[in-house]
Amino acid sequence: MKTIRAGVIGVGYLGRFHAQKYAAIPGVELIGVSDIDAERAQSVAAECGCRAFTDYRDMLALVDAVSIVVPTSHHFHVARDCITHQVDILLEKPMTVTLTEADQLIELAEKHQRVFQVGHLERFNPAVMAIKPFLTTPVFIESNRISTFKQRGVDVDVVLDLMIHDIDIILTIIDSPLQTIHTVGAPVVTSTTDIANARLIFANGATANITVSRVSLTNIRKMRIFQPGSYINVDFANKKVMTIRLGEGELASGMPKHDIEVRSFAGEDALYNEIEHFVTHVRHRTTPEVSGRDGRRALEVVLQVMEQIKEHQQLDLYRSIQKTNGA
């Protein structure tokens, strides 16, 4: 088995975990980690037994593949440099700031025949992977991703930070073009949107209602999927899936008889699964499950949601000013 030489660009909170997973995967040699903070790079390199770099470009000639875990605003130019140096990339979500940047990276990766995976981690949550055999024709999806406030990540809109996970999953579950989007959102403790709701209506009539918040007192990451004859409850945080399927006959209450199954995957590691998946496609030169095009599809919807929320907020502000002025 060919040894894959790997690197990690950006070893802050999440990047450090990427480095740990590469170091643990059989058939992978973690060559180095890069970070503009030299002390942090040295610390993670010592922990994982590899070299430290402060300029990621010095590492590119030494590796076959990298994880890019830098701030979103730097995704495009770092990914472009890696691809042009013939390095395969696992690019954290959201893949880029704009669709134009996303399109350019997809085109460049195809031109250079590079593996391009986008880091939508929840796709590799074992609970999400386990629902695939139970999916038929979902008609309604209710998703809640609610978290306590953390200073990390507040530089971006909550839609881009959190809702993008659920949008990506829903786009893979509902096999129909997205037709209509209805949104509401507001800033609470930061200058960007901290709480938001989006209702996605698809051409086949299926509807998804998504709520995200980063200003709650509790953490909830759940999705409920309703389809003819069955119901699926996904608990992302606890990695559990409950399925309820209708059977023959009725209970005394008149409720149809049903079978309930609960499956737990508490011991599995979504990030390890994601990086192992990436390494497999690097080794076999195949297209990963979450390709650049998949990342772009989720980004496109997220940007539409953000734009609509922004328009509503501007309209509300205008009306408030008009009311204050007595217009």
Q: What is the pLDDT of residues 122-169, one digit of tens each?
A: 999 999 999 999 999 999 999 999 999 887 666 678 999 999 999 999
- Alpha helices (runs of H) in 151-291, residue ranges in sequence order: 158, 164-173, 270-284
Instruction: Report DSSP state, residue 291.
Output: B
Alpha-carbon distance of 72 to 291, in angstroms, equals 17
Range of the domain at 103: 4-122+271-290
Among residues 303, 321, 323, 318, the alpha carbon closest in space to that of 183 is found at 303
Which residues of the chain are modeled with pLDDT < 50? 317-318, 321-322
What pLDDT does 322 receive?
47
**Do 214 and 279 share a domain, yes or no?**
no
What pLDDT does 323 receive?
54
Q: Are 149 and 214 in contact (CB under 8 A)?
A: yes
Number of domains in the chain: 2
What pLDDT does 247 receive?
73
In a domain, 299, yes or no: no
The three-state secondary structure class of 267 is coil
**Do 183 and 229 share a domain, yes or no?**
yes
Question: Residue 250 is part of a domain; what is its CATH number?
Answer: 3.30.360.10
Place of tokens 């406030």: 149
In a domain, 110, yes or no: yes
Encoded tokens for 16: 């450090």
Q: What is the pLDDT of residues 28-41, one digit of tens each?
A: 999 999 999 999 99
Instruction: Report DSSP state, residue 161.
Output: I
In a domain, 94, yes or no: yes
**Do 144 and 254 share a domain, yes or no?**
yes
In a domain, 75, yes or no: yes
What pLDDT does 180 receive?
97
Question: Residue 46 is part of a domain; what is its CATH number?
Answer: 3.40.50.720
What pLDDT does 319 receive?
52
Alpha-carbon distance of 313 to 308, in angstroms, equals 9
Alpha-carbon distance of 128 to 237, in angstroms, equals 11
What pLDDT does 318 receive?
40
Question: What b/e readout covers 79-105, taking b as 16+ CB neighbours within 10 angstroms?
Answer: bbbbbeeebbbbbbbbbbbeeebbeeb
Encoded tokens for 96: 């880029």
Q: What is the pLDDT of residues 212-230, one digit of tens each?
A: 999 988 999 999 999 999 9
What pLDDT does 258 receive?
80
What pLDDT does 155 receive?
67
**Do 170 and 224 share a domain, yes or no?**
yes
pTM: 0.90
Q: Are 120 and 295 in contact (CB under 8 A)?
A: yes
What pLDDT does 312 receive?
75
What pLDDT does 315 receive?
57
**Do 106 and 166 share a domain, yes or no?**
no
In a domain, 203, yes or no: yes
Encoded tokens for 310: 């922004």
Report the share of the chain in percent with pLDDT over 70: 94
